[in-house]
Amino acid sequence: MSLRLRDVVLQHLRALGATCEEGSVRRLTMDIELEGRIEMVTLSLRDDELQCVSSDGRNDGPHVMAALRFIAGTEPREDATPPRPVPAIAGPTLGRASPNELAEALDDLLTAIARVGVSKAQYAPSVDAALERVVDVAPQPTPPGLGRFIGRLQQEIRSGEPLHIARILDGASQVADALRADAPTRDSEQRLSAWFGVRPGSSPDVERLYDRTMIELGREWLSGTERASVERRYLIDIRSGSIYREDRPRNATASLGPCPRQLRVGLAEVEAGPAPQRIRILQYEVQPDVPTESWARVQQVADRNFAHLTEGYRRSVEAHPSLAEPFALIAPYRIERNGVFKAFDAEGHRLLLNRSERRGAVLAFYDLLAEGVEPSWVAGRLTDTGATLCLTPFAVGTRDQTYRRL
């Protein structure tokens, strides 16, 4: 990168800071388009030094150079059009079939399952045909939200949980109604975005985050359609305790680094949608070795009120019945080990530790408990059995080991 060009831009930013009456300019962010690809470039002053980074993680790439030339005044411009807004977290658009056709396909799927019954739906040709039609008329490639709906539905049909199946189908019915609506409400627009991504003419509700420290607690592959399985990564903001998910479809890119890892996030976008909310990390630095003090902070922000946890879970599944898969981080006051493992908070509220999923992670966790290990914190997905909230363990921290991925 040209040192002279950097010096010119540094002087420009210093001048902006010096002439600003209400405060100093410390950061400039712009969208740069080169060869049909848009990247967000951020120029910032830290300790009076110029820091440059683009949303592809590079600090000396062509988009950064174009931004420096623009600020330095050497980039020719044909007009005075301001930079376009930050691109939203986009997905395929509903262009392959009309919204009404997709709504009808979802209705046909509900009808097919209702006719044969939950117990026979797994092997019913009519249900298979209805699922194929939904995928056929949906945008291509299959949007991750729609793919996850199909994966969850098939999983619950195999397990034979009528309540969970009814909840997932209720969400599909809501989406069908939203597709037909002439003027979707804010809630229905969020629902459509969660299923299909950003649609033409929509205004997605996106929150920007700056300068956050996040730790990845774990990642897993979740089922979808044959071509739409998703790697989900669970990240916690160690300042606020908020938990986010980064979804990476196969053959797509995501933030780099092994698990666990610490991320210094310069800029990120968070979607308003099913829990945990989806995050798109645009600018970041990776620290593979998580410091001990960061793990201590994870324990500090862990949820200690299980009644509060239950209420949050209820709100999540009511808002997004098909796609909400809440993830929780808890610090149990004590754990009961009399055959059915239960975690309790200090006020006596209980949280069942789920043993119904006989996966390696669950079995490894119960082996630890059987050995008398006392978890400092436990992270995992929330679900329910009847009227009882359950946590399926995913990762754990103990006094002897700050982190164990199960």
With a CB cutoff of 8 Å and minimum separation 6, the contacts of 199 are 93, 94, 192, 193
The domain boundary, picked from 196, 219, 238, lies at 196
Q: Count how many residues are written for the chain.
A: 406
Domain count, the chain: 4
Give residue 67's Cα distance to chain centre: 29
What CATH number corresponds to the domain at position 259? Answer: 2.40.50
Gap between the Cα atoms of 90 and 274, Å rounded? 16
At residue 304, what is the residue type?
A: R
Domain assignment of residue 18, yes or no? yes
Q: Is 336 helix (H, G, I), strand (E, B) or coil?
A: strand
The domain boundary, picked from 147, 164, 196, lies at 196
For 302, the token pair is: 């862990």
Domain assignment of residue 295, yes or no? no
Please tell me the pTM assigned to this model: 0.74
Domain assignment of residue 82, yes or no? no
Domain of 47, in residue numbers: 3-72
- Give the residue from 37, 20, 39, 41 showing the smallest Cα distance to 29: 41
Domain assignment of residue 77, yes or no? no
Count of other CB atoms within 10 angstroms of residue 200: 7
Query: 376 and 309, same structural domain?
Result: yes
Query: 306 and 258, same structural domain?
Result: no
Q: At what angle do helices 62-72 and 3-19 cross, to 10 degrees?
A: 50
Count of other CB atoms within 10 angstroms of residue 215: 22
Contact in structure between 176 and 103 (CB atoms under 8 Å): yes
With a CB cutoff of 8 Å and minimum separation 6, the contacts of 2 are 68
pLDDT at 108: 95
Residue in this structure with the two tokens 């981080």, named with its chain if needed: 329
Q: At what angle do helices 144-159 and 125-137 cross, to 10 degrees?
A: 170
Contact in structure between 306 and 330 (CB atoms under 8 Å): yes
Query: 137 and 61, same structural domain?
Result: no
Query: 398 and 306, same structural domain?
Result: yes
Contact in structure between 276 and 326 (CB atoms under 8 Å): yes
With a CB cutoff of 8 Å and minimum separation 6, the contacts of 267 are 29, 40, 42, 55, 208, 209, 210, 282, 283
At residue 31, what is the residue type?
A: D
pLDDT at 253: 75
Domain assignment of residue 339, yes or no? yes
Query: 229 and 186, same structural domain?
Result: no
HSE value, Cβ hemisphere, 13 Å, CA-based, for 165: 19
Give residue 204's Cα distance to chain centre: 15
Gap between the Cα atoms of 25 and 128, Å rounded? 58
Query: 108 and 59, same structural domain?
Result: no
Query: 105 and 188, same structural domain?
Result: yes
Query: 319 and 232, same structural domain?
Result: no
Task: Report in angstroms the alpha-carbon separations of 214 from 57, 260, 264, 405.
Answer: 17, 11, 7, 17
Domain assignment of residue 221, yes or no? yes
Gap between the Cα atoms of 14 and 45, Å rounded? 8
Count of other CB atoms within 10 angstroms of residue 212: 21
Query: 282 and 223, same structural domain?
Result: yes
Domain assignment of residue 84, yes or no? no
pLDDT at 361: 75
Domain assignment of residue 93, yes or no? no
* Bridge-based pairing state of the strands 388-398 and 404-405: antiparallel
The domain boundary, picked from 290, 324, 343, lies at 290
HSE value, Cβ hemisphere, 13 Å, CA-based, for 195: 30
Contact in structure between 196 and 271 (CB atoms under 8 Å): no
From first to last of its 406 residues, the chain has per-residue pLDDT tens of: 455 676 777 776 666 655 445 556 667 888 888 876 777 788 877 666 777 877 766 777 888 888 888 887 754 444 334 434 444 444 444 445 578 899 999 999 999 999 999 889 988 999 999 999 999 998 888 888 999 999 999 999 988 888 999 999 999 999 999 999 888 788 888 899 999 887 666 667 789 999 999 999 998 888 877 666 788 999 999 999 999 999 887 767 788 888 999 999 999 999 989 999 999 999 999 988 999 999 999 999 999 999 989 999 999 999 999 999 999 999 999 988 776 788 999 999 999 887 666 567 778 888 888 888 889 999 999 998 877 899 988 899 988 888 888 7
